[in-house]
Structure 1
Amino acid sequence: MPYAILRTTKIKTSGNIAASLSHNYRDRETHNADETKAHLNSHDHDSKDAAFEAIQNRLPEKVRKDGVHCIEYMITASPDFFEDNNRITHDKYFEAAKEWLIERHGEENVITTSIHRDETSPHLIAYVVPYVFNEKKQKENLNCKHFLGGRKTLSDMQTNFHKHVSHFGLERGVERSVAQHQTVKEFYSKIQNPIKELKEIADSIIIPDTTFLESKEKYAERVAYSVWNQACDEFEDSILKTTNKNYIDLEKENSRLKGELEKSKLSERVVKREFFKFKNNMDIANKINNLPFENIKKINSYIDKKTDEIAEKNLINPILDQENKILFKWDKENNSYYLLINDQQINKKVPVSFIEEIKKCSSFLNQFTTKEIYNNNLKGGVEIP
Structure 2
Amino acid sequence: MGKQYAILRVQKCKGAAIGAMQYHNDREPGKHTNPDIDQTRTRLNREMRSHVDYEREVQARIDDGYSGERKVRKDAVKLVEGIVTASPEFFELADDDKVREFFDDAYRFCCDEFGESNMVHFTVHMDEETPHAHFGFVPLRDGKLSWKEFFPNKMALGKMQDRFYGHVGALYGLSRGEKRGDGEPVKRH
What TM-score results when the alignment is normalised by the length of structure 2? 0.84
Amino acid at match of 2:18: I
- Cα distance, 1:46 vs structure 2: 6.2
Aligned counterparts of 2:49 and 2:155: Cα–Cα separation in 1: 34
**Residue 178 of structure 2: aligned partner:** 174
Alignment partner of 1:35 is 2:39: yes
Write out aligned runs for 1:1-385 (5 A). 1-13=3-15, 15-27=16-28, 28-30=30-32, 31-44=35-48, 49-60=52-63, 62-133=71-142, 140-165=143-168, 166-177=170-181, 178-180=184-186, 247=189
- Cα distance, 1:160 vs structure 2: 1.1
Aligned counterparts of 1:22 and 1:56: Cα–Cα separation in 2: 18
Q: Cα deviation per residue 1:306-363 (whole Å; 9 max; x = unaligned)?
A: xxxxxxxxxxxxxxxxxxxxxxxxxxxxxxxxxxxxxxxxxxxxxxxxxxxxxxxxxx
Amino acid at match of 1:180: V
Distance 1:148 1:117, change over 3 A: same
Higher relative contact order, structure no. (Cα contacts within 8 Å, ≥ 6 residues apart): 2
Distance 1:65 1:54, change over 3 A: closer
RMSD: 2.0
**As a proportion of its length, which structure holds more helix?**
1
SS in 1 for 2:7: strand
Distance 1:44 1:85, change over 3 A: closer
**As a proportion of its length, which structure holds more strand?**
2
Aligned counterparts of 2:175 and 2:126: Cα–Cα separation in 1: 22
- Cα distance, 1:162 vs structure 2: 0.6
Asked if 2 retains the 8 angstrom alpha-carbon contact of 1:12 and 1:66, the reply is: yes
Identity %: 33
SS in 2 for 1:2: coil
- Which runs of no fewer than 5 residues in structure 1 stay unpaired? 134-139, 182-245, 248-385
Aligned counterparts of 1:97 and 1:179: Cα–Cα separation in 2: 27
SS in 2 for 1:35: coil
- Which runs of no fewer than 5 residues in structure 2 stay unpaired? none
Asked if 2 retains the 8 angstrom alpha-carbon contact of 1:45 and 1:51, the reply is: no
Asked if 1 retains the 8 angstrom alpha-carbon contact of 2:79 and 2:138, the reply is: yes
Size of the aligned set, in residue pairs, is 175
